[in-house]
């Protein structure tokens, strides 16, 4: 009897920890709750270690993720997998066996807030294997440097160096890649890097080979407005909470974590901040850039007075290399055909949708692929044990778009 009672108490406690009220439309809510409970456990353990001075919270979190997810390079009959250095940056290469002599090529940047993750994680390994096999394409998954040791522009420079090397005649020839069929892609923070690289290299007149497409998966593209409709609507929806995204931005930009409440209140973009011009504000004016069904009932949060000097202290907040949504229209107009995936229950939804509109206004052909039941990170959960139906759908549609456009 006592054992049963103890079991009931433990089960109730576990259910209380796991349960989280979620929007009714989100895909398979109990799976998302379990996933969130796992992530929260990791993050809480990392916060405790950081507070006790054992190690930086990001280091423990990365160790936990690596212990669970990172795997060795293993080839199979369909795909040869090797670890190399691409432009000096560690990279995992997925080379399909057989097929056509010349392959399509994709350089891919993983997500993780510029601080977590690796292209060697099981989820990215599976994604890149499937891409290599289904597309008969060479996929190069780049392990750029991570915060807190590396801060902007280190991650950007790694992504740029790897991409330049990827487009070089030596690498294209060595891996039998068709120079007319190459793409840059990434998810979340990796989508940020892919967008920034696409902008930079599209304007580089010294290149003989250019990307044919850019494919951005729920990209993070700006840090000036933490009150877009999607930030307001989804601030408490896992797996990417609004305060966590602000923390990731501050780590990436090498800024003080004490600025987190300033960013979350939009005090850094108050109207009394002379370093933010009207032209800059127009590039993320969601009242004009978002369709009505995404604006919904939400209202902009614009302070008349705020915290002075934040942009001066953290100038990368308005640097388009860090925040690609802020790029000038002539730069956007030179970028390749685009695919942008967004999810309804994601704080980053409106970053992606505003970028779709800005690319379209610049004359770029864009496919906007929106998932009404999607959540941030869903595409990498397309396999067991946390397989999500929207993850599987989004992954297949992403690969299908590449197949049709690359």
- Please give the Cα distance from 151 to 158 (Å, whole number): 11
Point out the catalytic residue in the list 346, 351, 369, 373: 346
Q: Report the relative pairing of strands 366-375 and 137-142 from DSSP bridges.
A: unpaired
Point out the catalytic residue in the list 27, 118, 141, 188: 188
Q: What is the DSSP string of 240-273?
A: S-HHHHHHHHHHHTT--GGGHHHHHTTGGG-TT-
What residues contact residue 313 under an 8 Å CB cut-off, 6+ apart?
A: 255
What is the H or E stretch that residue 375 is in?
A: strand 366-375
CA-closest candidate to residue 210, choices 255, 240, 166: 166
188 is catalytic: yes
Residue 307, beta-bridge partner list: none
Token digits for 280? 């800059």
In which region does residue 359 sit, left (phi positive, over 0), alpha (psi from -120 to 50) or beta (all else)?
alpha
346 is catalytic: yes
272 is catalytic: no
**210 touches 336 (CB < 8 A):** yes
Residue 132: C-alpha distances to residues 29, 87, 99, 126, 129 (Å)? 31, 21, 11, 10, 5
Gyration radius of the chain's alpha carbons = 21
Give catalytic residues, as residue numbers: 188, 346, 376
């Amino acid at each position: 009897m006592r054992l049963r009672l103890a079991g009931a108490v433990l089960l109730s406690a576990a259910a209380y920890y796991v349960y989280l009220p979620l929007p009714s439309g989100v895909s398979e809510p109990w799976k998302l709750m379990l996933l969130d409970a796992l992530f929260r456990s990791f993050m809480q353990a990392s916060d405790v270690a950081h507070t006790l001075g054992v190690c930086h919270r990001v280091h423990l979190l990365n160790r936990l993720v690596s212990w669970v997810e990172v795997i060795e390079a293993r080839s199979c009959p369909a795909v040869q997998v090797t670890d190399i250095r691409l432009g000096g940056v560690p990279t995992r290469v997925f080379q399909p066996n057989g097929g056509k002599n010349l392959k399509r090529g994709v350089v891919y940047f993983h997500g993780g807030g510029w601080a977590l993750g690796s292209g060697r994680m099981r989820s990215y390994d599976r994604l890149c294997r499937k891409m290599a096999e289904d597309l008969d394409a060479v996929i190069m998954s780049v392990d750029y440097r991570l915060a807190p040791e590396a801060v902007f522009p280190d991650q950007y420079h790694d992504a740029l160096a790897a991409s330049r090397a990827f487009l070089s005649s030596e690498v294209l020839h060595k891996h039998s890649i068709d120079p007319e069929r190459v793409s840059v892609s990434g998810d979340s923070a990796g989508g940020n890097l892919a967008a920034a690289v696409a902008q930079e290299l599209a304007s580089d007149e010294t290149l003989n080979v250019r990307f044919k497409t850019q494919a951005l998966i729920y990209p993070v593209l700006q840090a000036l407005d933490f009150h877009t409709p999607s930030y307001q609507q989804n601030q408490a929806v896992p797996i990417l909470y609004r305060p966590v995204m602000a923390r990731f931005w501050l780590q990436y930009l090498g800024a003080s974590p004490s600025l987190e409440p300033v960013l979350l209140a939009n005090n850094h973009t108050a109207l009394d901040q002379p370093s933010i011009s009207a032209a800059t504000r127009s590039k993320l004016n969601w009242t004009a850039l978002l369709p009505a069904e995404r604006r919904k009932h939400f209202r902009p949060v614009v302070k008349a007075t705020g915290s002075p000097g934040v942009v001066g202290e953290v100038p990368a907040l308005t640097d388009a290399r860090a925040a690609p949504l802020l790029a000038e229209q002539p730069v956007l107009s030179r970028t390749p055909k685009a695919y942008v995936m967004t999810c309804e229950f994601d704080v980053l939804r409106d970053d992606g949708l505003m970028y779709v509109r800005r690319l379209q206004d610049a004359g770029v052909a864009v496919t906007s692929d929106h998932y009404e039941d999607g959540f941030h990170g869903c595409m990498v959960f397309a396999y067991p044990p946390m397989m999500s139906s929207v993850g599987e759908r989004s992954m297949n549609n992403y690969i299908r778009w590449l197949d049709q456009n690359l």
